[in-house]
Amino acid sequence: MFIELLTIADPNSWTNMFSLGDGVTWLEKIVRPIIIYITLVVLLRLVGKRELAQLNPLDLVVILSLSNTVQNAIIGDDTSLVGGIVGACALLAINYAVAYVKYRWPKVEAVTEGKPITLIEDGRIDHAMLKHELMTESDLDIVAHENGLEDASEIKQLVLNPNGSFLVEGKDDIRDDKFKHDVLNKIDELSKQINTLTASLAKTS
């Protein structure tokens, strides 16, 4: 414990904390995160949107592994506090710059992120687009389950957004049946609550 206190009191420990590692330049700390950022954007754009959608454990593993894989490429041989802060600032700066460019010129967004893709229209599956996104009909069933539907046959329209989220519209008759079912369930719950309240009032009187 006493040795640890001496280490904290050592001025050199504070100096090293607020300085870059040996042989590391400020330019390197700024350029590395920018290169990795651009590379990941391009790769995710090329492989499609299913990785962002994380339809199965394999997609999740890939996304989680990406961050660990590029970590060393971002920080290099420098693990200093200042180096981490500079790298984080560089990432935030490039992301802000890209967001600003997309805001000023909407066409840039279509180039960097792509456009929404319709996988199901009027209940019909677009197998060509499904193949383009490397998705199977089982994946469509998963999306249906996540939105309270039995399977893809109950989907009227399914749109895959650039950010990996899905816009799901169920068929009209399916939605009506589910709405009626939910209403009946709520009425049944209210009836039970009323009966319970009536019984409790009868006991007290």
| pLDDT tens-place string over residues 84-137 | 888 889 989 998 998 898 888 888 877 777 788 899 998 899 999 888 888 888
Q: Which residues contact residue 50 at a Cβ distance below 8 angstroms, ignoring those fewer than 6 apart?
A: 59, 133, 134, 135, 139, 164
What distances in angstroms separate CA 140 from CA 40, 80, 143, 168, one per listed residue?
Answer: 26, 46, 5, 10
Note the pLDDT of residue 21: 66
Beta bridge partners of 150: none
Report, as ranges of residue numbers, the positions in the chain whose pLDDT lies below 70: 1-22, 48, 172-181, 205
**Closest by Cα among 167, 123, 169, 129 to 149:** 169
Q: Would you say the C-alpha torsion 14, 19, 24, 28 has a positive or negative sign?
A: positive
| Residue that the structure tokens 């050592």 belong to | 10
- Residue 125: strand pairing partners: 120
- Is residue 123 left, alpha or beta, with left meaning phi > 0 and alpha meaning psi from -120 to 50? left
Among residues 65, 62, 70, 85, the alpha carbon closest in space to that of 40 is found at 70
Rg of the chain taking only CA atoms, in angstroms: 27
Answer whether 166's CB lies under 8 Å from 159's CB: yes
Please report the pLDDT score of residue 176 as a whole number: 62
- Is the model's pTM score more than 0.75? no
User: Do the beta carbons of residue 159 and residue 116 sit within 8 Å?
Assistant: yes
Q: What secondary structure letter does DSSP report for 150? A: S
